[in-house]
């Protein structure tokens, strides 16, 4: 008599600890990057352009504004990424980490190592379920 293989319904505590380590490393780096972006946005005018030509001053101010806008968008994305990582840590504590929110099946470990805040399997993400 053949027995059905038992389908794994959650990751083991050891596996969750491995994922937690990955997430904490990514979160630390993300926080550093976010700090750098915030500095870029809030830093005062460090290049004194008062004695340069008016044309150059206008160009410099335009570039500065564009750079701050880009930094602002990047900072916003980085903040969202950090929130997703923190939510993943909560799922680890709840032992629900790595379970696809559409299919209820485990998301492959390789996917979680690459995208540790993933809540969908690839199949669910591309709509093949």
Query: pLDDT for 28-62, tens place per residue?
Result: 999 999 998 888 888 744 554 544 555 555 555 55
Question: How many domains are contained in the chain?
Answer: 1
The whole-model pTM stands at: 0.74
**DSSP secondary structure code for residue 9 in this structure:** -
118 within some domain:
no
Spatial separation of the C-alpha atoms in residues 65 and 10, rounded to whole Å:
48
Tell whether 109 is covered by a domain: no
Q: Which of 41, 47, 33 is nearest to 66 (CA)?
A: 41
Span 70-104, pLDDT tens digits: 888 999 999 999 999 999 999 999 999 999 999 99
**Cα–Cα distance between 119 and 125 in angstroms, integer?**
9
Residue 40 is part of which domain span?
A: 13-95
Q: How many CB atoms lie within 10 A of CB 11?
A: 21
């Amino acid at each position: 008599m053949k027995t059905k293989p038992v389908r794994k319904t959650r990751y083991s505590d050891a596996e969750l600890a491995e994922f937690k380590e990955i997430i904490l490393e990514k979160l630390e780096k993300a926080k550093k990057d976010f700090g750098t972006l915030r500095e870029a946005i809030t830093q005062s005018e460090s290049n004194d352009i008062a004695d340069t030509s008016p044309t150059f001053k206008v160009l410099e101010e335009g570039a500065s504004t564009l750079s701050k806008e880009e930094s602002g968008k990047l900072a916003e994305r980085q903040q969202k990424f950090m929130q997703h990582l923190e939510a993943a840590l909560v799922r680890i504590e709840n032992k629900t980490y790595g379970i696809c929110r559409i299919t209820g099946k485990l998301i492959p470990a390789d996917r979680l190592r690459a995208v540790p805040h993933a809540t969908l399997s690839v199949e669910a993400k591309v709509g093949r379920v």
